[in-house]
Amino acid sequence: MDGNRKLEGRHALVTGAGSGIGAAIAVALAAAGARVTLAGRRATPLEALAAQIGPSAQVAAGFDVTDATAINDGIADARAAFGPIDILVNNAGEAPTAPFEKTSLEVWNHVLAVDLTGVFLVTQAALADLKARGPGGRIINVASTAGLTGYAYVSAYTAAKHGVIGLTRSLALELVKTGITVNAVCPGFTDTPMIAQAIKTIMTKTGRSHEEAASAFTKNNPQGRLITPEEVADAVLWLASPGAGSINGQAIAIAGGEVLAG
Protein backbone atom coordinates (compact mmCIF):
# COMPACT_ATOMS: atom_id res chain seq x y z
CA MET A 1 0.00 0.00 0.00
CA ASP A 2 1.19 3.54 -0.76
CA GLY A 3 2.38 4.95 2.56
CA ASN A 4 0.57 8.19 1.80
CA ARG A 5 -2.73 6.30 1.54
CA LYS A 6 -2.70 4.74 4.98
CA LEU A 7 -6.49 4.98 5.30
CA GLU A 8 -7.23 3.03 2.12
CA GLY A 9 -10.54 1.20 2.44
CA ARG A 10 -11.68 3.13 5.51
CA HIS A 11 -14.93 5.10 5.70
CA ALA A 12 -14.85 8.40 7.59
CA LEU A 13 -17.83 10.56 8.48
CA VAL A 14 -17.05 14.22 9.20
CA THR A 15 -19.74 16.49 10.65
CA GLY A 16 -19.67 20.20 9.93
CA ALA A 17 -17.66 19.39 6.81
CA GLY A 18 -18.78 22.30 4.63
CA SER A 19 -16.03 24.79 5.50
CA GLY A 20 -13.11 25.64 7.73
CA ILE A 21 -11.69 22.89 9.92
CA GLY A 22 -14.24 20.28 8.83
CA ALA A 23 -13.49 20.78 5.13
CA ALA A 24 -9.73 20.60 5.74
CA ILE A 25 -10.17 17.36 7.70
CA ALA A 26 -12.27 15.81 4.94
CA VAL A 27 -9.68 16.71 2.29
CA ALA A 28 -6.84 15.26 4.39
CA LEU A 29 -8.67 12.00 5.08
CA ALA A 30 -9.60 11.56 1.42
CA ALA A 31 -6.00 12.23 0.36
CA ALA A 32 -4.94 9.42 2.71
CA GLY A 33 -7.24 7.00 0.90
CA ALA A 34 -10.41 7.16 2.99
CA ARG A 35 -13.90 7.34 1.57
CA VAL A 36 -15.45 10.36 3.22
CA THR A 37 -19.03 11.24 4.01
CA LEU A 38 -19.39 15.03 4.20
CA ALA A 39 -22.12 15.73 6.73
CA GLY A 40 -23.73 19.08 7.38
CA ARG A 41 -26.94 21.06 7.20
CA ARG A 42 -26.31 23.02 3.98
CA ALA A 43 -25.99 21.14 0.70
CA THR A 44 -24.23 23.79 -1.42
CA PRO A 45 -20.84 23.92 0.35
CA LEU A 46 -20.84 20.16 0.86
CA GLU A 47 -21.49 19.51 -2.81
CA ALA A 48 -18.73 21.94 -3.81
CA LEU A 49 -16.28 20.15 -1.54
CA ALA A 50 -17.37 16.73 -2.82
CA ALA A 51 -16.72 17.93 -6.38
CA GLN A 52 -13.25 19.05 -5.31
CA ILE A 53 -12.43 15.72 -3.63
CA GLY A 54 -13.90 13.48 -6.30
CA PRO A 55 -15.56 10.04 -6.19
CA SER A 56 -14.19 9.16 -2.74
CA ALA A 57 -16.54 11.74 -1.18
CA GLN A 58 -20.32 11.77 -0.85
CA VAL A 59 -22.69 14.28 0.73
CA ALA A 60 -25.04 13.85 3.68
CA ALA A 61 -26.92 17.15 3.59
CA GLY A 62 -29.61 18.06 6.10
CA PHE A 63 -27.44 16.40 8.74
CA ASP A 64 -28.57 18.32 11.82
CA VAL A 65 -26.58 17.04 14.81
CA THR A 66 -29.40 18.05 17.15
CA ASP A 67 -31.95 15.87 15.33
CA ALA A 68 -31.71 12.13 16.01
CA THR A 69 -33.88 11.24 13.00
CA ALA A 70 -31.74 13.32 10.61
CA ILE A 71 -28.61 11.72 12.05
CA ASN A 72 -29.90 8.18 11.67
CA ASP A 73 -31.07 8.86 8.12
CA GLY A 74 -27.73 10.42 7.19
CA ILE A 75 -25.74 7.54 8.64
CA ALA A 76 -27.95 5.00 6.84
CA ASP A 77 -27.30 6.80 3.55
CA ALA A 78 -23.57 6.98 4.29
CA ARG A 79 -23.46 3.26 5.04
CA ALA A 80 -25.33 2.46 1.83
CA ALA A 81 -22.81 4.49 -0.18
CA PHE A 82 -19.49 3.55 1.40
CA GLY A 83 -20.15 0.77 3.92
CA PRO A 84 -19.95 0.91 7.72
CA ILE A 85 -18.36 3.96 9.32
CA ASP A 86 -15.08 3.24 11.07
CA ILE A 87 -13.71 6.78 11.53
CA LEU A 88 -16.01 9.36 13.09
CA VAL A 89 -14.98 13.01 13.30
CA ASN A 90 -17.37 15.13 15.38
CA ASN A 91 -16.58 18.64 14.18
CA ALA A 92 -19.92 20.48 13.98
CA GLY A 93 -20.13 23.42 16.37
CA GLU A 94 -21.18 27.00 16.98
CA ALA A 95 -19.65 29.75 19.12
CA PRO A 96 -21.89 32.79 19.59
CA THR A 97 -20.44 35.51 21.80
CA ALA A 98 -22.11 37.48 24.58
CA PRO A 99 -21.43 38.48 28.18
CA PHE A 100 -22.64 35.80 30.56
CA GLU A 101 -25.39 37.99 32.01
CA LYS A 102 -26.72 38.62 28.50
CA THR A 103 -26.58 34.96 27.43
CA SER A 104 -30.18 33.81 27.15
CA LEU A 105 -31.33 30.36 28.13
CA GLU A 106 -32.28 29.84 24.48
CA VAL A 107 -28.70 30.53 23.33
CA TRP A 108 -27.25 28.42 26.16
CA ASN A 109 -29.46 25.44 25.29
CA HIS A 110 -28.77 25.78 21.57
CA VAL A 111 -24.98 25.87 21.94
CA LEU A 112 -24.96 22.86 24.26
CA ALA A 113 -27.33 21.01 21.92
CA VAL A 114 -25.04 21.54 18.90
CA ASP A 115 -21.60 21.42 20.50
CA LEU A 116 -22.07 18.75 23.17
CA THR A 117 -25.32 16.83 22.78
CA GLY A 118 -24.62 16.63 19.04
CA VAL A 119 -21.41 14.73 19.77
CA PHE A 120 -23.39 12.37 22.01
CA LEU A 121 -26.12 11.76 19.43
CA VAL A 122 -23.86 11.24 16.41
CA THR A 123 -21.45 9.01 18.32
CA GLN A 124 -24.26 6.89 19.70
CA ALA A 125 -25.78 6.51 16.23
CA ALA A 126 -22.45 5.48 14.66
CA LEU A 127 -21.26 3.25 17.49
CA ALA A 128 -22.65 -0.02 16.13
CA ASP A 129 -20.61 0.48 12.95
CA LEU A 130 -17.49 1.35 14.91
CA LYS A 131 -17.86 -1.68 17.15
CA ALA A 132 -18.32 -3.91 14.13
CA ARG A 133 -15.05 -2.54 12.77
CA GLY A 134 -13.38 -3.42 16.07
CA PRO A 135 -9.69 -2.65 16.55
CA GLY A 136 -8.78 0.34 14.44
CA GLY A 137 -12.06 2.19 14.89
CA ARG A 138 -11.58 5.87 15.62
CA ILE A 139 -13.68 8.58 17.24
CA ILE A 140 -12.09 12.02 17.04
CA ASN A 141 -13.86 14.99 18.59
CA VAL A 142 -12.96 18.53 17.58
CA ALA A 143 -13.08 20.39 20.87
CA SER A 144 -11.17 23.63 21.53
CA THR A 145 -8.65 25.19 23.86
CA ALA A 146 -11.84 26.58 25.42
CA GLY A 147 -12.35 23.05 26.70
CA LEU A 148 -8.99 23.17 28.48
CA THR A 149 -9.12 26.68 29.91
CA GLY A 150 -11.63 29.52 30.12
CA TYR A 151 -12.50 32.39 27.78
CA ALA A 152 -14.67 35.39 28.51
CA TYR A 153 -17.86 36.05 26.55
CA VAL A 154 -18.29 32.47 25.31
CA SER A 155 -19.53 30.79 28.48
CA ALA A 156 -21.89 28.37 26.71
CA TYR A 157 -19.24 27.35 24.17
CA THR A 158 -16.60 26.92 26.87
CA ALA A 159 -18.93 24.81 29.00
CA ALA A 160 -19.87 22.66 26.00
CA LYS A 161 -16.26 22.06 24.97
CA HIS A 162 -15.30 21.10 28.53
CA GLY A 163 -18.16 18.60 28.27
CA VAL A 164 -16.83 17.24 24.97
CA ILE A 165 -13.45 16.58 26.56
CA GLY A 166 -15.08 14.88 29.54
CA LEU A 167 -17.16 12.72 27.22
CA THR A 168 -14.03 11.88 25.21
CA ARG A 169 -12.18 10.65 28.28
CA SER A 170 -15.14 8.68 29.62
CA LEU A 171 -15.87 6.98 26.31
CA ALA A 172 -12.19 6.18 25.74
CA LEU A 173 -12.21 4.08 28.91
CA GLU A 174 -15.58 2.52 28.21
CA LEU A 175 -14.58 1.37 24.70
CA VAL A 176 -10.96 0.45 25.39
CA LYS A 177 -11.62 -3.32 25.20
CA THR A 178 -13.10 -2.94 21.72
CA GLY A 179 -9.91 -1.49 20.23
CA ILE A 180 -11.70 1.76 19.33
CA THR A 181 -9.80 4.87 20.38
CA VAL A 182 -11.47 8.13 21.37
CA ASN A 183 -9.53 11.39 21.35
CA ALA A 184 -10.09 15.12 21.06
CA VAL A 185 -8.16 17.82 19.26
CA CYS A 186 -8.30 21.28 20.80
CA PRO A 187 -7.52 24.04 18.32
CA GLY A 188 -6.79 27.56 19.45
CA PHE A 189 -8.16 30.43 17.40
CA THR A 190 -8.09 29.15 13.82
CA ASP A 191 -8.16 30.94 10.48
CA THR A 192 -11.71 30.00 9.50
CA PRO A 193 -14.68 31.93 8.07
CA MET A 194 -16.08 32.21 11.61
CA ILE A 195 -12.97 34.03 12.86
CA ALA A 196 -12.83 36.17 9.70
CA GLN A 197 -16.39 37.29 10.39
CA ALA A 198 -15.56 38.01 14.04
CA ILE A 199 -12.63 40.19 12.95
CA LYS A 200 -14.92 42.12 10.57
CA THR A 201 -17.42 42.63 13.39
CA ILE A 202 -14.73 44.03 15.67
CA MET A 203 -13.55 46.37 12.91
CA THR A 204 -17.10 47.61 12.30
CA LYS A 205 -17.93 48.15 15.97
CA THR A 206 -14.61 49.65 17.08
CA GLY A 207 -13.09 51.24 14.00
CA ARG A 208 -9.91 49.22 14.51
CA SER A 209 -7.73 48.15 11.59
CA HIS A 210 -7.73 44.53 10.46
CA GLU A 211 -4.39 43.96 12.17
CA GLU A 212 -5.62 45.48 15.42
CA ALA A 213 -8.85 43.49 15.34
CA ALA A 214 -7.02 40.24 14.52
CA SER A 215 -4.71 40.76 17.50
CA ALA A 216 -7.61 39.91 19.79
CA PHE A 217 -7.31 36.34 18.49
CA THR A 218 -3.53 36.06 18.08
CA LYS A 219 -2.21 37.76 21.21
CA ASN A 220 -2.46 34.67 23.45
CA ASN A 221 -0.72 32.37 20.95
CA PRO A 222 3.02 32.49 21.71
CA GLN A 223 3.64 32.11 17.98
CA GLY A 224 1.61 35.26 17.41
CA ARG A 225 -0.66 33.85 14.71
CA LEU A 226 -3.86 32.00 13.97
CA ILE A 227 -3.77 28.22 13.63
CA THR A 228 -4.54 26.96 10.12
CA PRO A 229 -7.32 24.44 9.43
CA GLU A 230 -4.73 22.22 7.74
CA GLU A 231 -2.73 21.98 10.97
CA VAL A 232 -5.81 20.72 12.78
CA ALA A 233 -6.49 18.30 9.92
CA ASP A 234 -2.96 16.92 10.14
CA ALA A 235 -3.51 16.10 13.83
CA VAL A 236 -6.82 14.39 13.06
CA LEU A 237 -5.19 12.43 10.25
CA TRP A 238 -2.52 11.18 12.64
CA LEU A 239 -5.10 10.14 15.24
CA ALA A 240 -7.06 8.30 12.53
CA SER A 241 -3.99 6.44 11.30
CA PRO A 242 -2.92 2.92 12.29
CA GLY A 243 0.17 4.31 14.02
CA ALA A 244 -1.90 6.13 16.65
CA GLY A 245 -3.43 2.99 18.12
CA SER A 246 -1.98 3.64 21.58
CA ILE A 247 -3.27 7.24 21.76
CA ASN A 248 -6.51 7.15 23.70
CA GLY A 249 -8.50 9.53 25.87
CA GLN A 250 -6.31 12.49 25.01
CA ALA A 251 -7.18 16.16 24.47
CA ILE A 252 -4.43 17.50 22.23
CA ALA A 253 -3.97 21.27 22.11
CA ILE A 254 -3.13 22.71 18.70
CA ALA A 255 -2.46 26.26 19.76
CA GLY A 256 1.20 27.22 19.36
CA GLY A 257 1.89 26.77 23.06
CA GLU A 258 -1.07 28.79 24.40
CA VAL A 259 -2.17 25.81 26.52
CA LEU A 260 0.60 23.62 27.86
CA ALA A 261 -1.35 20.88 29.66
CA GLY A 262 -4.47 18.92 28.81
CB 17 within 8 A of CB 65: no
Q: Which DSSP letter does residue 190 get?
A: B
**SS3 track for 19-45:** CHHHHHHHHHHHHCCCEEEEECCCHHH
251-254 and 181-187 as β-strands: parallel, antiparallel, unpaired?
Answer: parallel
3-state secondary structure of 87: strand
157 is catalytic: yes
Kindly name the residue from 34, 77, 155, 157 that is annotated as catalytic: 157
The rounded distance, in Å, linking the Cα atoms of 228 and 128 is 33
CB 95 within 8 A of CB 194: yes
* Residue (of 255, 252, 197) closest to 225 by Cα position: 255
* Residues carrying an active site annotation: 157
